[in-house]
Amino acid sequence: MTDEKKTGTGTNGSKMIEVRNVTKSFVRGKETLEVLKGLDLDVPEGSFDALMGPSGSGKSTLLNLIAGLDQPSSGKVVVGGSEPASMSDSARAQWRARNVGFVFQTFNMMPVLTALENVELPLLLTKLPSKERKQRAQIALRVVGLEDRMHHYPNQLSGGQEQRVAIARAIVSDPKIIVADEPTGDLDRKSADEILDLLQRLNREQNKTIIMVTHDPSAAERATVIHRLDKGALAQN
Amino acid sequence: MAIPLAYNFRSLFVRKATTIATALGVGLVVFVLAASMMLSNGIRETMVSSGSPANALILRKGSDTELASSIENKFFSVVQAAPGVKRDGDGQPLSTGDVVVVVALDRLASGPGQVSNVLVRGVMDNVFKLRPQVKLVQGRPAKPGTDEAIIGKGLLGGYGGLTLGGTFELKKNRAVNVVGVFEAGGSSYESEVWVNIDTLRASFGRDGLFSSITVQLDDPNKYEAFATVVESDKQLGLESFREREYYDKQSEGTSMVISTLGGITAVLFSVGAMIGAMITMYGSVALRSREIGTLRALGFSRFSILVAFLLESTALAALGGLAGTLVSLVCTFFKFSTMNYNTWQEVSFTFRASPGVMGFALAAGCVMGVVGGFLPALRAAYTSPVDAMRA
Amino acid sequence: MQLSSLATRNVLRNRFRTIATALGVAVAILAFVLLRTVVSAWTEGAEYAAKDRLGTRHKVSFILSLPLRYVAEVEQIPGVKRSMGASWFGAKHPTREQEFFATIAVQSKAFFEVYDEIQVPEAQRAAWMENRKGAIVGRVLAKKFGWNVGDRVKLRGTIYPGDWDFEISGIYDSQRRSVDLASFFFHYDYLNDSVPARRKDQIGWIASRIDSSDKAAQISKQIDEKFDERDIQTLSMSEKALNNSFMGMFAAVLGAMDLVSIVILLIMMLILGNTVAMGVRERTHEYGVLRAIGFLPRHLASFVLGEAAAIGALGGGLGLLLSYPVVEKGLGRFLEENMSGFFPVFRIDTSTTIQAFVFATLLGLIAAAIPAYRTSKLNVIDALRRVG
């Protein structure tokens, strides 16, 4: 495993994410593809980890397993003390809503909702009253620095701003982990830097555990640890 | 240069469900249009085919219909003697007189106690000479001078007593036996009961009277001469019609109601179908904006793209229209009976398909495709190659 | 913002498509309302027909007459309050022959008792009674031909040939909905006095008022039994039954209209379903995101259904808004004036309005059923993988 550790960043003893001997295979027609082969990974709480690798290496698949979007063919994935693979579909959905914040490459705002309403979305799944939902959404927007645009629609925001709203949405329910799949893929250099600054800040100031898949080496540099995957296994040093 | 048709045709099948839904919408509209036109046609033809081009029908002046007309016996010979009346092999003039009434009979398709008006025609023995299209298909002809009747095949099974071997009453204690069933080339006669004229006269107190007189002319072109002679004698108080025109008028009202109703409905429907086609094509254009941009970048003109998409929407509509037209042909197997309110009798009509109707319906479908697809095609044509690539 | 309002917010996504779809639905609703109103207006006559009034006619054919003396005999039957003889006159306007209207000779002394829904101002009524050649005409008919009280009119007879002189004594109206306001009534005595001997003392039919509508069938039977032994037999039934019989002859037309109404609803469903399916296809990736952040399959399905119902309801409302001017004001006025025999009242029924709106919304739901189901069965990973 090639883990390039940076010193002086928030790693402490407790493990947020534990991946044990995980394999994931897909059946395509008559062939079975083994995307992940007996993988082990530990991510401590408060770590900012980057997953890099060529396309087809399985990095997105690994991210999906950690996020509880998919289940391993064999092995265990434990996140924040829970094993999402062992839950029913609806329990898992609820677990994701409470524990995982998502940031995607294509920002995925609902065009008919304002920034504030978009950030409010995950809170609709809780029992919070409307007033409190709005308050929390506003706070989240404040953290990402877009409180003054909360009533704007996505088409009134730049790419970078939209992604920041997405991050606000990802943190609004105070999740245990933030999962980011190529968060800077669709952004220009300057906006990309802003996003990465924001992620770093969330990691350092709020001790958010972040797993980020990226192609971009300069994005990966911002992380505490970089994992490299190749052909379904973490590359051994 | 033109965009290959194969591109358009195959694109239709990429989104099968949407294509089918839109085509179905157009198909339904075309079906309703074709069916109502066929019915309207059927009504006209049913009535008109009752009239022969060589025959003239005489009624009392001022009566619009046989039912309201009453002509005295003595005028029969005067009409017979008018110029232009054809003579048969024995030198006898080809002319006959009818008495027409409507009778209340139980309508079997409705609940108990529901009656309907059936037209009963009292005919002279020589009636078949003037109406050669009438042919017996079951049973036997009524014996002259008896209380026997033959019924048109359109009445079979619809009314109490009107079956081969059945009976009904024309007058109290005067039962009439149905001994035969006739067909009459799909004309309105098929919804009539024919009895001996004297039987009917006696039952209805019409002794010495006719409702109408029918003659066959030597030369249909010489009709005017005949009509003038008949109508000019004020003492006679008669009015003459070409038999065809008389029946045509009888069907006018009903036929017009059906075609108006059918027309309005079809117009409204077609607006709906066109909107449906438009939505589909807009969606298609939006989905394929990258493709279109590429075509533009490759050098295809705006016009060729416009044409291409118009062809696509027209083909889509034509598919539906074809299906709708073909399915509408199923209607020809059905009878449709309604009251002809000129004569207050219930008449059986059929749906008559004709190349004209089919062609029109199909064309209407295509037009829907063109109109509905026009705006989207315009949008496609004005896609900028640069924008599309960026999408 | 609530979960429930998310669905309806989505209709704003592609405003053009939403409006176009709503328009399509609106047109379909317009056609639907038109057809249903034609049917309901047409059959309304039967609905509102008097149940406590009977019609007695010649058993064999309506074109045969009954003897005048039968009227008095029918009045003798227990349960019959008053009987009136009437004959169809069948005349035409001398210059506007194509425009049909009903002309009926009635025994005027009994007229207003048997047809108490016909209202004529007292003075005009008295004038009519005094005037042998007097006639009372319906409000709609008077307007059509521009007739006023006191006008001399000439009508051309068809069944009774010749030109007949009349004077307009009064104009009638009615509170009751289904009354034909385009008829022409005159004195039977005038007709009877003017016909040749062999046509005298004959009556086309007898209208009788009975004391209780429950006894309609029973009294009808009694009347017919009374004349059963005579040469001229009768057929009696309540006015309502008569209307039903009449409508029975149009059963096929009414059936066809019902069928076409269903076709309209199908077309509406296709338009809605198509739009919903297109929307769903476009949003696959977005649905994936929603599932990722924790929304359940049933949430997504409800978004799809909610959106469809919203568009359906919008279209339904729009269609109804269009219907009132077009159907009631436009077509309705025309039919009431020119075909008042068939359509004395052409108003959109409340039930039609409700049906239209409910169908539009309901059909939206049904049309969206399959897309909604498909959406709920989305595989999250596959959905996320889809671009745009």
The answer to whether A141 touches A115, Cβ cutoff 8 Å, is yes
The answer to whether B60 touches B230, Cβ cutoff 8 Å, is no
User: What is the reported pTM?
Assistant: 0.79
Interface of C with B in 140-169 (CB under 8 A): 156-159, 161
Identify the residue whose tokens are 């010749």: C162
Structure tokens at A58: 């399985």
> In what helix (H) or strand (E) does residue B120 lie, and over which residues does it extend?
strand B115-123
Q: Which of B25, B110, B344 sits opposite C271 (nearest CB)?
A: B25
Nearest chain B residue to C93 by CA: give it.
B62
Please report the pLDDT score of residue B299 as a whole number. Answer: 79
- Among the residue ranges A77-91, B338-352, C135-149, the one predicted with the least confidence is B338-352
Residue C105 has pLDDT above 50, yes or no: yes
Name the interface residues of A facing C (CB cutoff 8 Å). 64, 67, 69-70, 89-90, 93-94, 96-98, 100, 102, 104, 106, 108, 110-113, 117, 120-122, 124-125, 130, 169
The DSSP code sequence of B38-84 is: HHHHHHHHHHHTTS-TTEEEEEETT-SSGGG--EETTHHHHHHTSTT
- At A6, the pLDDT band (50, 70, 90 cuts) reads very low
User: Cα-Cα-Cα-Cα dihedral of B311, B312, B317, B318, to 10°?
Assistant: 60
DSSP single-letter state for residue B95: E
Q: Does C270 touch chain B (CB under 8 A)?
A: yes
- At A10, the pLDDT band (50, 70, 90 cuts) reads very low
Dihedral (CA of B204, B206, B211, B212) sign? positive
B160-178: average pLDDT: 86
Contact state of C244 with B261 under an 8 Å Cβ cutoff: no
- At A45, the pLDDT band (50, 70, 90 cuts) reads very high
Q: Which residues contact C170 (CB under 8 A, 6 or more apart)?
A: C120, C121, C124, C125, C127, C128, C134, C136, C137, C149
Contact state of C291 with A93 under an 8 Å Cβ cutoff: yes
Contact state of C1 with A169 under an 8 Å Cβ cutoff: no
Residue B169: CB atoms within 10 A of its CB come to 16
The answer to whether C77 touches C224, Cβ cutoff 8 Å, is no
Identify the residue with better confidence: B108 or C186.
Answer: C186
Contact state of C295 with A125 under an 8 Å Cβ cutoff: yes
C306-324: average pLDDT: 92
> In what helix (H) or strand (E) does residue C97 lie, and over which residues does it extend?
none
B321-329: average pLDDT: 93
Please report the pLDDT score of residue B296 as a whole number. Answer: 81
Closest CA to C271 of C351, C375, C363, C139: C363
Residue C275 has pLDDT above 60, yes or no: yes
Cα distance between residue C218 and residue B330, in whole Å:
46
Give contacts of C156 with chain B, Cβ < 8 Å.
Answer: 62
Structure tokens at C278: 């297109």
Residue C340 has pLDDT above 70, yes or no: no
Residue B293 has pLDDT above 50, yes or no: yes
Residue C198 has pLDDT above 90, yes or no: no
Nearest chain A residue to C286 by CA: give it.
A108
Identity of the amino acid at A81? G
Please report the pLDDT score of residue B195 as a whole number. Answer: 94
- At B25, the pLDDT band (50, 70, 90 cuts) reads confident
Cα distance between residue C353 and residue C33, in whole Å:
7
- At A75, the pLDDT band (50, 70, 90 cuts) reads very high
Residue C3 has pLDDT above 80, yes or no: no
Structure tokens at B230: 């008949």
Give tens-digit pLDDT for B210-219: 999 999 998 8
Give contacts of B256 with chain C, Cβ < 8 Å.
Answer: none
* Chains C and A: 3 or more CB pairs within 8 Å of each other: yes
How many helices (H) and strands (E) chain C has is answered by 16, 12
Give tens-digit pLDDT for B182-239: 998 888 899 899 999 998 998 888 889 999 999 999 888 888 888 888 888 887 789 9
* Chains A and B: 3 or more CB pairs within 8 Å of each other: no
Residue A235 has pLDDT above 50, yes or no: yes
Q: Which of C28, C232, C235 sits opposite B104 (nearest CB)?
A: C235
The DSSP code sequence of C267-291 is: HHHHHHHHHHHHHHHHTHHHHHHHH
Distances (CA, A) of A71 to A25, A38, C289: 10, 14, 17
Residue B5 has pLDDT above 80, yes or no: no
C135-164: average pLDDT: 90
Per the document, the length of chain B is 391
- Among the residue ranges A199-213, B375-389, C141-155, C263-277, the one predicted with the least confidence is B375-389
Identify the residue with better confidence: C344 or A51.
Answer: A51
Cα distance between residue B205 and residue A135, in whole Å:
96
Q: Which residues contact B328 (CB under 8 A, 6 or more apart)?
A: B30, B31, B34, B35, B38, B353, B361
Q: What percent of chain B has pLDDT over 70?
A: 96
Chains near A with 3+ CB pairs less than 8 A apart are: C
Q: Which of C12, C291, C293 sits opposite A121 (nearest CB)?
A: C293
A86-94: average pLDDT: 91
Cα distance between residue A24 and residue B46, in whole Å:
75
B14-43: average pLDDT: 84
Cα distance between residue B295 and residue B287, in whole Å:
14
Contact state of C294 with A94 under an 8 Å Cβ cutoff: yes
Cα distance between residue A104 and residue B320, in whole Å:
43
Give tens-digit pLDDT for B31-60: 888 888 888 888 888 877 888 888 999 998
- Per the DSSP assignment, residues forming a β-bridge with C82 are C209
Q: Name the average pLDDT for chain B.
A: 85
- At B14, the pLDDT band (50, 70, 90 cuts) reads low
Parallel, antiparallel or unpaired: strands B95-106 and B115-123: antiparallel
Cα distance between residue B276 and residue B266, in whole Å:
15
Structure tokens at C245: 């019989």
Give contacts of A110 with chain C, Cβ < 8 Å.
Answer: 9-10, 286
Q: Which of A70, A100, A102 sits opposite C381 (nearest CB)?
A: A70
- At B124, the pLDDT band (50, 70, 90 cuts) reads very high
Please report the pLDDT score of residue A72 as a whole number. Answer: 93
Q: Name the average pLDDT for chain C.
A: 87
Residue B314 has pLDDT above 50, yes or no: yes
User: Cα-Cα-Cα-Cα dihedral of C261, C263, C266, C267, to 10°?
Assistant: -100
Nearest chain B residue to C30 by CA: give it.
B268
Across A205-214, B12-21, B218-227, the highest mean pLDDT is recorded for A205-214
Interface of C with B in 210-249 (CB under 8 A): 230-233, 235, 237, 241, 244-246, 248-249
Residue A60 has pLDDT above 50, yes or no: yes
The answer to whether B124 touches B96, Cβ cutoff 8 Å, is yes
- Among the residue ranges A184-188, B238-242, C43-47, C113-117, the one predicted with the least confidence is C43-47
Residue A237 has pLDDT above 70, yes or no: no
Q: Name the average pLDDT for chain A.
A: 87
Q: Which of B115, B280, B339 sits opposite C274 (nearest CB)?
A: B280
Question: Would you put residue A210 in left (φ > 0), alpha (ψ -120 to 50) or beta?
Answer: beta
**Residue B238, SS3 per DSSP:** strand
Identify the residue with better confidence: C50 or A51.
Answer: A51
Give tens-digit pLDDT for C260-272: 888 888 888 888 8
B82-103: average pLDDT: 88
Please report the pLDDT score of residue B389 as a whole number. Answer: 64
C86-96: average pLDDT: 90
- Among the residue ranges B94-98, B231-235, B371-375, C45-49, the one predicted with the least confidence is C45-49
Contact state of C1 with A111 under an 8 Å Cβ cutoff: no
Residue A31: CB atoms within 10 A of its CB come to 7
Please report the pLDDT score of residue A11 as a whole number. Answer: 46
Please report the pLDDT score of residue C387 as a whole number. Answer: 58
Q: Which of B116, B171, B272 sits opposite C24 (nearest CB)?
A: B272
Measured between CA atoms, how close is C139 to chain A, in angstroms?
57
Contact state of A124 with C384 under an 8 Å Cβ cutoff: no
Residue B141: CB atoms within 10 A of its CB come to 14
A169-193: average pLDDT: 91
